[in-house]
A and B are shown apart, each in its own frame.
Chain A
């Protein structure tokens, strides 16, 4: 049986402890599923590895932001103080670079921080008001005391019964179909 993708987002199982979640994710991935995601009320150690998540782009974006802030900040000050609005104060050098360092430093931090936060939000595609997983009634526990795993319908191996069976094998409770609307 192949369900139409427009009707179903995936199958979800619930767990009470983070260790059970990790165990389940490992089992499901070992069975060959790749479009798998887990949901937890706090970052669970070892979950990223179990899901096979690679290094993310946030640090790189952060570095770009820091470079932009620092380099841009320094040359902006240089341009303002030495080129467009030079002030001759007792013949002192216009490019007084040591005096530009504090602002350069602050702008480096500012650029890097803004990039890290907005980069993280953008990569996570947040804000996102609705997502199919919110259709599951018990999913409100994902923000307090329950751990969820979802095998998504986009997975090429996805068969509803198969997925439900594997979730049963890893002792998930409340196995539910996640509708996609």
Chain B
């Protein structure tokens, strides 16, 4: 912060960077947001972006098709590295999803007004990230058509899933997370779907939005129960989001593998998840507000706050890295010490240094007020953190598995073309879904924006 800056959260700062631009009414927020979906012509940029993303998604389809024909041998995995890209990408994607739930649930419980204009697309991002994530363990089984074996169902063989295994916990955690996120998102959408129903001009649009809105009419009795349900969902999603990445960290920490078997994993994974998730929200929010002129709704205040959350969670992650070092040397366990040495000097050391650079060093720029208010810097930073968090999972999975207890069990891992094609393909799928979402559904919650207008006009009185 430079010397002339007003203090941290003074009214002056709030006036300079409000959560919504001045002069909006219930009607004008409704018009502006619903117009993106209903009346604005689809821009050329949208088609180009969609085409690129959709092609990448096509590549994913080919990669998965080839995988189903040939088996997981087309990937770079082999004993001792059975996990490879599939698990790295799974953990990365599911972590990205966490910011959506954090914004929609935790910030809702904390009554943070600035969440309003970003929660809808952050929740959508959660859903799409969970969809991408869920695919990896599925195809990693090698026989995805047998995935129902993981579900508890009365089979003729009389067998049941092993409920003591973290991998089964994962199935329950991720599917619950997906379901609850979907419901949370949909419940939030119901009033907006009613708005679109009432404002749509074309008959098919009226029918589709009409069916989706289920006859919502804004009745006070309905709002009364709706608010209870929404608050309860937020309260339930909060422990859920913390549990999901904890359960995923159990996949590692329950195993007796050096570098994995530590108690710091659950909190450090959750912090990392939120870190990468906020980075992804920024990656999406910055182009979105630019493309659709939403600077009055997604203001600098939002970007600034998200940058602060990133900085805070980034420091927790840094603490996690430090503790890994400390516990290894303090415990004196020679395998843990060896693993730390491998991180610093082993064959994958460049990845580790890149990770420290991306996740710890570069994000320290966010301490500066100027940097947090520079959109280009924030966008760059969000990409850097996404890369850094991917590297973190790569380092965790690959270094530990290639340097197990006995040298005879050591190995090397390098991804193949098909690994990359699948990974980049899921990014294509993610972006495709985001593109479709902003085109057919309101990317900002209209009902909540009206509420915000009401609250701000009350404050001014």
Contacts and interface: CB of A to CB of B under 8 A. Distances in A.
B30 A144 contact: yes
Interface of B is mostly: helix
A6 interface: no
Interface of A is mostly: helix
A167 B227 CA distance: 28
A30 interface: no
Contacts of A33: none
Interface of A: 18, 37-44, 47-48, 51, 53, 56-59, 62, 66, 76-77, 80-81, 84-85, 87, 96, 99-100, 102-103, 105-107, 109-110, 112-114, 116-117, 119-121, 123-124, 126-131, 133-134, 139-145
A126 B218 CA distance: 12
Given A43-B227, A56-B225, A76-B152, 6 more contacts: A40-B220, A59-B228, A126-B215, A128-B214, A131-B217, A144-B195
Given A113-B233, A126-B215, A130-B215, A53 B224 contact: yes
Interface stretch (B11-19, B82-90, B173-181, B268-276): B173-181
A57 B214 CA distance: 21
Contacts of B166: 102
A106 B176 contact: yes
B229 interface: yes
A121 B448 CA distance: 20
A102 B184 CA distance: 22
Nearest to A25: B220
Contacts of A66: 236
B247 A41 contact: no
24 contacts: A37-B221, A39-B219, A41-B218, A43-B226, A43-B451, A47-B220, A59-B232, A77-B163, A80-B152, A80-B163, A99-B163, A103-B168, A105-B239, A109-B243, A110-B179, A120-B187, A143-B194, A143-B216, A143-B217, A144-B31, A144-B195, A144-B199, A145-B25, A145-B26
Interface stretch (B154-162, B315-323, B340-348): B154-162
A124 B179 contact: no
Nearest to B27: A145
A73 to B, nearest CB: 9
Contacts of A114: 179, 183
A133 B232 contact: no
A56 B250 CA distance: 39
A56 B224 contact: yes
A81 B232 contact: no
Contact of B27 (A40, A57, A144): A144
Contacts of B222: 124, 126
A139 B199 CA distance: 11
A125 to B, nearest CB: 9
Most buried by A among B152, B211, B223, B229: B229
10 closest Cβ pairs, A-B complex: A127-B214, A120-B229, A145-B27, A80-B160, A145-B26, A140-B198, A99-B164, A128-B215, A58-B228, A144-B30
B214 A144 contact: no
Contact of A103 (B172, B180, B240): B172
Nearest to A103: B172
Contacts of B62: none
B450 interface: yes
Nearest to A141: B198
A145 B26 CA distance: 5
B454 interface: yes
A114 B243 CA distance: 18
B461 to A, nearest CB: 10
B220 A42 contact: no
B240 A109 contact: yes
Contacts of B243: 102, 105-106, 109
A103 B179 CA distance: 15
B223 A127 contact: no
Contacts of B221: 37, 51, 53, 124
Contact of A58 (B27, B180, B232): B232
B229 A81 contact: no
Contacts of A51: 220-221
B302 interface: no
B220 A143 contact: no
B197 interface: yes
B220 A38 contact: yes
B265 to A, nearest CB: 14
B447 interface: yes
Contact of A81 (B164, B180, B197): B164
B379 interface: no
Nearest to A117: B183
B169 interface: yes
B215 A143 contact: no
Contact of B26 (A37, A106, A144): A144
A102 B247 contact: yes
A106 B232 contact: no
A114 B176 CA distance: 10
B366 to A, nearest CB: 33
Contacts of B225: 56-58, 120, 123-124
Contacts of B232: 58-59, 62, 112-113, 116
Most buried by B among A37, A41, A127: A41
A143 to B, nearest CB: 4
A79 to B, nearest CB: 9
